[in-house]
């Protein structure tokens, strides 16, 4: 049976991991290579790196970081952040990334999804969607781009469907309402997207407890859960998360 | 003379580069195991190498076209008929079959009789993530790998060999499909050993030991 994936997410700026990772007993907790290796050995199923570097020079750094990670970490790696062209995508895939995640650039230039899928295969094209609930007579989830700064006239469920039709092989869904609050994923949104598309959906934003992971997988019907702070701050280990999920009957890999 | 130089310098393992995806992870996995693989698309190199790995992600039709343009299809067929070691990975397994449904009906290498079919629509496609490989036949390729170990899969099509005795590992995803194929010195996997952690590295190690052990020097 296909297991559900637990995916730690690392924010990387200019080749360094940002956001607290102080719990990890590493020589250099800011080194993405060392952290990736730590999570590999800790039983993570996959890793997502979000490059928040603002400069093109910094992006070159990300490629070399991925290169070094892929030398010792034998599990799937997804890299996102600031990828705008086929060349940007190719550079990271050649460096050893298995998938790239497109967010703003996919909204601004949806052809990038189809061109990437045609060239490299759908399996490596992840479309990341940041969404916020828009309360009204008929509530809906609105898509935001530019690191959540910019609302666009797109319904998240429609956009997910369209992205998949264009060739996205996976959706990385972040609830901006839930993100950072550690009060649980947006289950309603996760389920809406998961039921709308026939590709895997990774739930992101809001994980604060192990039960939150379970709810996103079980009630939200997500195929994978992404989490940052509960792992980075040492609230829980990946192994604890898996033991908890296994007890609840969720298939996980040990 | 150049030929002998090539042979002397060769590590013995060639990874076929036909433009289908990223080979870096495969190279890194083999390096971790202490090998220095060559990357190549030269028919002679592919014909003579003691061990060949045919990796691949992407579409079956495009991959067959690329192999034909590089004049590699006959070399690969010949390797198999001469019982020289070959490991197919993911798309590299599907390309061994007679024909694939992907992109119409595209003829493949045909060294293993059978079809490549689309996974059933009930499940999400691609089948992406870690799933168990059930060892349906004992085989030295599984040395040190517990039954039902998890491996990393990402694919939308699966191979269905006519001769079920070549199927040594199966995986369930809506249906039970062939995830490890073994026939003499021909081994192929639907999963990505280079993405499957310690068990994946063990799988490569087993293959290389079997392959090099079968050489008559």
Comparing B19 with B129, which gets the higher pLDDT? B129
- Domain ranges within chain B, ordered by starting residue: 2-213
Average pLDDT over residues A161-188: 95
Q: Which region, left, alpha or beta, applies to residue A164 given φ > 0 means left and ψ of -120 to 50 means alpha?
A: alpha
Size of interface A-B (CB pairs under 8 A): 97
* CA separation for the pair B172, B134 (Å, rounded): 9
What residues of A are in contact with residue B198 (Cβ under 8 Å)? 74
CB B96 within 8 A of CB B181: yes
Considering only CA atoms, which of B142, B99, B143 is closest in space to residue B117? B99
Q: Check residue B5 and give its pLDDT.
A: 39
Question: Is pLDDT at B10 greater than 80 in this prediction?
Answer: no
What is the pLDDT of chain B when averaged over all its residues?
Answer: 91
Q: What's the CA angle centered on A42, arms A38 and A46, to 5 degrees?
A: 85
Structural domains of chain A, ranges and CATH numbers in brackets: 5-247 (3.20.20.70)
Q: What is the DSSP letter of A41?
A: H
- Clarify whether B101 is annotated catalytic: no
Average pLDDT over residues B195-214: 95
* CA separation for the pair B74, B80 (Å, rounded): 10
Cβ–Cβ contact B6 with A under 8 A: no
Q: Check residue A137 and give its pLDDT.
A: 86
CB A74 within 8 A of CB B196: yes
Q: Check residue A180 and give its pLDDT.
A: 86
Q: What interhelical angle do B73-81 and B60-69 show, nearest 10?
A: 90
Average pLDDT over residues A245-251: 97
Q: Check residue B9 and give its pLDDT.
A: 45
Q: What is the DSSP letter of B105?
A: S
Q: Check residue B1 and give its pLDDT.
A: 39
Question: Is pLDDT at B99 greater than 60 in this prediction?
Answer: yes
Cis peptide before B161 (omega within 30 of 0): no
Per-residue tokens: A114: 């189809």
H-helix or E-strand spanning residue B52:
strand B51-54
- Shortest Cα distance from B4 to chain A (angstroms)? 31
Per-residue tokens: B132: 């168990």
Q: Rounded to 5 degrees, what are φ and ψ at B194?
A: -70, -5
Question: Is pLDDT at B48 greater than 50 in this prediction?
Answer: yes
* CA separation for the pair B46, B39 (Å, rounded): 10
* CA separation for the pair B70, B63 (Å, rounded): 11
* CA separation for the pair A155, A153 (Å, rounded): 7
What is the pLDDT of chain A when averaged over all its residues?
Answer: 92
What residues of B are in contact with residue A200 (Cβ under 8 Å)? 124, 126, 128-129
Per-residue tokens: A129: 């969607």
pLDDT digit string (tens) for A11-30?
A: 998 888 886 555 556 667 78
Largest CA distance in chain A: 54
* CB contact (8 A) between residue B128 and residue A122: no
Q: Check residue B69 and give its pLDDT.
A: 94
Q: How far is CA A202 from CA A81, A104, A140, A168, A223, in A?
A: 17, 18, 20, 13, 6
Q: What is the DSSP letter of B10?
A: -
pLDDT digit string (tens) for A183-193?
A: 999 999 999 99
Cβ–Cβ contact A120 with B under 8 A: yes
Number of residues assigned to chain B: 217
Q: Check residue A27 and give its pLDDT.
A: 65
* CB contact (8 A) between residue A74 and residue B29: yes
* CA separation for the pair A170, A2 (Å, rounded): 15
Question: Is pLDDT at A122 greater than 60 in this prediction?
Answer: yes
Average pLDDT over residues B69-96: 95
Under CATH, which number does the domain B2-213 receive?
A: 3.40.50.880
Q: Check residue A20 and give its pLDDT.
A: 52
- Lowest mean pLDDT segment, chosen from A72-76, A102-106, B61-65, B151-155: B61-65
pLDDT digit string (tens) for B112-139?
A: 999 999 999 888 999 999 999 999 999 9
pLDDT band at B56 (very low <50, low <70, confident <90, very high): confident
* CA separation for the pair A113, B27 (Å, rounded): 28
Cβ–Cβ contact B22 with A under 8 A: yes
Question: Is pLDDT at A112 greater than 70 in this prediction?
Answer: yes
């Amino acid at each position: 049976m296909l297991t559900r994936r637990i995916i730690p997410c690392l924010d990387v700026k200019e080749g360094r991991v940002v956001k607290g990772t102080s719990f990890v007993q590493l020589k250099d907790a800011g080194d993405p290579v060392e952290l990736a290796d730590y999570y590999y050995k800790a039983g993570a199923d996959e890793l997502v790196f979000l490059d928040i570097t603002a400069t093109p020079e910094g992006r070159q750094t990300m490629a070399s970081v991925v290169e070094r990670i892929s030398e010792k970490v034998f599990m799937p790696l997804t890299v996102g952040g600031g990828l705008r062209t086929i060349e940007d995508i190719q550079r990271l895939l050649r460096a050893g990334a298995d998938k790239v995640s497109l967010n703003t650039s996919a909204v601004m230039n949806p052809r990038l999804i189809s061109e990437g899928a045609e060239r490299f295969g759908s399996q490596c094209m992840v479309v990341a969607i940041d969404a916020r609930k828009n309360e009204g007579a008929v509530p809906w989830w609105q898509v935001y781009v530019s690191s959540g700064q910019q609302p666009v006239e797109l319904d998240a469920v429609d956009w997910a469907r369209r992205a998949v039709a264009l060739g996205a092989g996976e959706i990385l869904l972040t609830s901006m309402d839930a993100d950072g609050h550690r009060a649980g994923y947006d289950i309603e949104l996760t389920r809406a997207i998961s039921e709308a598309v026939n590709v895997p959906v990774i739930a992101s934003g809001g994980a604060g407890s192990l039960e939150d992971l379970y709810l996103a997988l079980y009630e939200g019907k997500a195929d994978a859960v992404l989490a940052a702070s509960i792992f980075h701050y040492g609230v829980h280990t990946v192994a604890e998360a898996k033991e908890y999920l296994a007890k609840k009957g969720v298939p996980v890999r040990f | 003379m150049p030929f002998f130089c090539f042979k002397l310098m060769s590590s013995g393992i060639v990874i076929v580069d036909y433009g289908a995806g990223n080979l870096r992870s495969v190279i890194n996995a083999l390096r971790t195991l202490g090998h220095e693989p060559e990357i190549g698309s030269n028919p002679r190199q592919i014909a003579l190498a003691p061990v060949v790995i045919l990796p691949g992600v992407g579409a079956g039709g495009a991959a067959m076209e690329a192999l034909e343009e590089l004049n590699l299809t006959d070399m690969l067929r010949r390797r198999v008929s001469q019982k020289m070691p070959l490991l197919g990975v993911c798309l590299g397994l599907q390309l061994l079959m007679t024909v694939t449904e992907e992109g119409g009906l595209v003829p493949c290498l045909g060294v293993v009789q059978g079809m490549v079919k689309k996974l059933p629509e009930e499940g999400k496609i691609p089948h992406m993530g870690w799933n168990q490989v059930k060892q349906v036949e004992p085989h030295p390729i599984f040395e040190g790998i517990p039954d039902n170990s998890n491996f990393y899969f990402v694919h939308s099509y699966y191979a269905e060999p006519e001769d079920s005795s070549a199927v040594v590992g199966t995986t369930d995803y809506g249906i039970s499909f062939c995830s490890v194929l073994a026939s003499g010195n021909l081994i192929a996997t639907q999963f990505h050993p280079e993405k499957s952690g310690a068990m994946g590295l063990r799988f490569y190690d087993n293959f290389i030991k079997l392959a090099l052990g079968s050489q008559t020097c």
